[in-house]
Amino acid sequence: MTKRSGNRQALLLVLAVVTLLVLAASIRFGAIDFSITQITSSLGSLLPGHPEATLDQRIFLELRLPRAVLCLLVGASLGVGGTLMQALFRNPIVEPGLVGTSTGAAFGSAVFFVLGGVFHIGVSLWSLPIAACAGGIISTYLVFMLARSREDARASIVMLLLTGLAVNALFTSGIGFLSYIARDPQARSITFWTLGTLSGASWKAVEIVTVSTAAGTLLALRYAKQLNALMIGEEEATYLGVNVNRLKWIILSVNVVIVAIATAFTGVISFVGLIVPHILRILGGADNRFLIVGSALTGATLLTLADLMARLVIRPAELPIGILTSAVGVPVFILLLRRRQYVF
C-alpha cells in the first residue's frame, strides 16, 4: 500500500505537470498563434499602470485565455463526473452522457436561451446554470425511474443504457425544435448543443464553472472512502458504516450539478467521462481518492488536447469538439462492452 500510494502521488504529480504543459500549448496555438512575448505582454497589460491592450492582446485575453481555462474546467468536471457515476453504479461503462445528464442539461440551457429571448426573462449570472441543472436533473431522474424494473429495485445496466438512449433521443429532438425556433445565433446552431464546442467561452462562464468544478470535486473527495467501500457491494458498505442511500443522493447530485453546469456553456461532450477513469484505473488502480483527483487532471488534459486539435485540424475554421471526443470514445466504449468482464 505504501509503495502503491507513493506511486500514485508521483503519478498525480506527472499528470499535473502534463496538464500545465497542455494548457501552455493550448493558449499558444490556434486560429492564430501567439508568441511567448505576446503572451507575457498581454498578461502584463492587465497590471495597473500599463498601456491599454492592443487588438492582439485583447484577442488573447478575451478569447484565447478564457477558452483554454474553461476547457480545463469542463474536462475536469466531465472526468470527475464519469468517475463518480462509475463508482456509484459499480460499473465501468456508465458515464454522464449515457444516462441522459448531458443532453438534459443542454436541453435546459436551450430552453433558457430560446424562452429567455422570447419573454425577456430577467437574466442573472446564475440563471443559465440553474436551467441546465434543472434539465440535467429531470433527464437523469427520468432515465433512472424508467430503467428500474418492477421486480428488482436496482436498475440493470442494459435497461439503463437502453433507456438512456431513448431519453437522449427525446431531449436531442427537443433541442432540435428549440434550435429551429431560436433567434439567438448561438442557440440557433444545433451542432453547438449536440456536438459541443468551446468557442463560446467567456470569463463569466469560467467564473461559474470554476465554482461548480471546485466545489463538486472537493465534496466528492470527502466521500471517496465511502465510494471505495461501495466497490465491495451495497450491503458490505453498510456494514462498514456507510449510509448508502445518503451517499447515492449526494454523489448523484454532485455529478448532475458539475456536468450540467459544464454542459450549459459547451454543449454535450460525450465519452470524456467514460475514458478518463478507465485510463487511470489501468495506471494506478481503483482507489477513488486517487481517481477523483486524477480524473480531474486527466479530463482537463484530454479535453484540452481535443480542443487544440479541433482548432488546428481545419484552421482557421474549427471542428465541434464532440466529434473528436466521440471518434476516440466510441471505439473504447465498444471495446469495453465486448470484453464483458463486468456484470450486466
H helix count then E strand count, the chain: 16, 0
Q: Cβ(331)–Cβ(270) under 8 Å? A: no
Q: What is the DSSP string of 138-197?
A: HHHHHHHHHH--SS-SSPPHHHHHHHHHHHHHHHHHHHHHHHHH--SHHHH-HHHHHH--
218 binds other proteins (CB under 8 A): no
Q: What is the per-residue burial (b if ≥16 Cβ within 10 Å, else e) of 215-240?
A: ebbeebbebbebbbbbeeeeeebeee
Residue 244 Cβ vs other proteins, minimum distance, rounded to whole Å: 9
Residues 77, 212: Cα–Cα separation, whole Å: 8
Which residue in the set 21, 181, 232, 335 belongs to the binding site for other proteins (CB under 8 A)? 232
CB of 6 to other proteins, least distance (A): 13
Can residue 1 be called a binding residue for other proteins (CB under 8 A)? Answer: yes
Return the range that interacts with other proteins (CB under 8 A); candidates 40-48, 59-67, 176-184, 239-247: 239-247
Report the distance separating Cα 263 and Cα 102, nearest Å: 6
> Of these, 7, 91, 186, 202, which contacts other proteins (CB under 8 A)?
91
215: which residues sit within 8 A by CB, 6+ positions away? none
Nearer to other proteins, 99 or 201 (CB): 99
Cβ proximity to other proteins, 49 vs 241, nearer residue = 241
Site residues (CB under 8 A) for other proteins, limited to 156-215: none
Among 126, 218, 236, 337, binds other proteins (CB under 8 A): 236
Nearer to other proteins, 55 or 282 (CB): 282
User: Taking the complex as a whole, how short is the minimal distance between the CB of residue 174 and other proteins, in angstroms?
Assistant: 33
What character string, x for contact with other proteins (CB under 8 A) and - otherwise, covers 324-343? ------------------xx
Smallest separation, CB 82 to other proteins (Å): 13
CA pair distance 101, 142, nearest whole angstrom: 10
CA distances in angstroms from 174 to 124, 181, 294, 343, listed in the order given: 24, 11, 35, 33
Q: How far is the CB of 337 from other proteins (least distance, A)?
A: 15
Among 149, 285, 335, 344, binds other proteins (CB under 8 A): 285
What's the rounded Cα separation, in Å, for the pair 300 and 303?
5
| All cell numbers assigned to 264 | 450549459
Judged by CB under 8 A, the residue of 37, 241, 317, 338 near other proteins is 241
Q: What residue ranges bind other proteins (CB under 8 A)?
A: 1-2, 4, 90-92, 225, 228-229, 231-233, 235-236, 238-243, 281, 285-287, 342-343
